[in-house]
Amino acid sequence: MNLPPPTVQWLDDSGTAFRAPGADASRPGVLDIIDQTRLPQSLHRLHLSDQKEIHAAISRLCVRGAPAIGCAAALGLAACAQRLTTTDQAEFRRQLEHTAAFLNSSRPTAVNLSWALQRCLNCLTADHVPALKQQLLDEALAILAEDISLCEAIGKHGLQLLQPGQGVLTHCNAGALATGGCGTALAPLYAAHQAGYRLKVFSNETRPLLQGSRLTAWELSRAGIEVTTICDSMAAQVMREGLVSLVLVGADRVAANGDTANKISTYQLAISANYHRIPFYVAMPYSTIDRSLHSGQEIPIEQRSPDEISHCQGAKVYNPAFDVTPYELISGYITERGICRKP
């Protein structure tokens, strides 16, 4: 199976790539990501070590998908820490916290971003700066390695929902390009493909930035999985025609009650699935659950630039990047620990 090259990794000055702890923080390194704004036309990588460049790369969706954003932010923080010249431990921590807060402001909805950055800050116990830099890099690479492993687990658990020849509908991109590993919502599809299933996947185009037609279609077709791109507005018709019997989507944040924020148009997809009595499952790691938020009404929704959808000068633009699907419309949640089905 031909998965895309690693979406996120650490690259040291010798050109050695790391996706698990083992890199030496005394060797200069960079956050190494695929620039997803240039897919599928070209496969281009960015090497980042400046906090403004990393913030811009996350904001511009060069790296996107909640798990990948978390991994990138953690490795980006480690790269920025390497460039801090102070030898005073207190000053190092102060500058590091300032950098983490700045990176955290790049995308407001994906909880993995703040979760990964806070985890990196919490790991620091050493009593001198070089050791702190090493701890930070080790923790960031541990986050990446764990994401790779949990993606495989999500795929294994989600496989039990699939059958050979089944039609599956997905939205946006929750595959290898959105994570450190093989994906969340696409992980069961990859597991099914390895098991010899021949699925028929329908990929919503996902306007306005076309993550479904640009990214999901690219990586699934590259892996040899049959994929058909449809406009977002065609999903209900595809369901009505009986072409799909399962909907799989990812998540950027899940509230304590199960309400789920995902790419805009997921909500109406869930409504259509519910009407046609088609199971609607959300695939995500446990780190996507934000227990501090009681319901989806408290999830911050990112507003994107009007330039993404504006074609008529003078017209007002409303461009939320995400919507919230109420837990009542969700059949269950596929996580690295198993499937949590509604009673």
For 137-146, the pLDDT digits (tens) are 999 999 999 9
What CATH architecture is 154-341? 3-Layer(aba) Sandwich (3.40)
Q: Does pLDDT of 311 surpass 90?
A: no
Per-residue confidence band for 96, with pLDDT thresholds at 50, 70 and 90: very high
Q: Does pLDDT of 65 surpass 80?
A: yes
Q: Is the pTM of this model over 0.75?
A: yes
Q: Does pLDDT of 313 surpass 90?
A: no
Distance CA 51, CA 307 (A): 25
pLDDT for res 2 = 81
- Element containing residue 133 per DSSP (H, E): helix 129-158
Q: Does pLDDT of 268 surpass 90?
A: yes
pLDDT for res 265 = 98
The closest alpha carbon to 62, from 39, 96, 95, belongs to 39
The catalytic site residues sit at 252
pLDDT for res 47 = 98
Domain ranges of the chain: 8-151, 154-341
Q: What is the mean pLDDT of residues 111-137?
A: 97
Is omega for the bond preceding 130 within 30 degrees of 0, making it cis? no
Q: Tell me the two tokens of residue 235.
A: 């999903």
DSSP 24-43: -TTS-EEEEEE-GGGTTT--
Helix (H), strand (E) counts: the chain: 10, 15
Beta pairing, strands 332-335 & 280-283: parallel
For 34-64, the pLDDT digits (tens) are 999 999 999 999 999 999 999 999 999 999 9
Q: What is the mean pLDDT of residues 262-269?
A: 98
Q: Does pLDDT of 4 surpass 90?
A: no
Cβ contacts of residue 274 below 8 Å, gap of 6+? Answer: 280, 329
Classify the C-alpha dihedral 103-105-110-111 as positive or negative.
Answer: positive
pLDDT for res 1 = 72
Distance CA 31, CA 103 (A): 13
- Inter-residue contact 85 to 92 (CB < 8 Å): no
**Cβ atoms within 10 Å of 295's Cβ, excluding its own:** 14
Distance CA 225, CA 167 (A): 12
Could you confirm whether domain 8-151 is CATH 3.30.497.10? Answer: no
Report the DSSP beta bridge partners of residue 329.
Answer: none
How far CA 182 is from CA of 152, 156, 165, 179, 214, in Å, comes to 7, 11, 21, 7, 17
pLDDT for res 343 = 74
Phi and psi at 27, nearest 5°, equal -95, 130
For 184-220, the pLDDT digits (tens) are 999 999 999 999 999 999 999 999 999 999 999 999 9
Report the DSSP beta bridge partners of residue 335.
Answer: 338
Q: What is the mean pLDDT of residues 266-291?
A: 97
In the chain, pLDDT over 90 holds for what percent of residues?
97
For 207-261, the pLDDT digits (tens) are 999 999 999 999 999 999 999 999 999 999 999 999 999 999 999 999 999 999 9
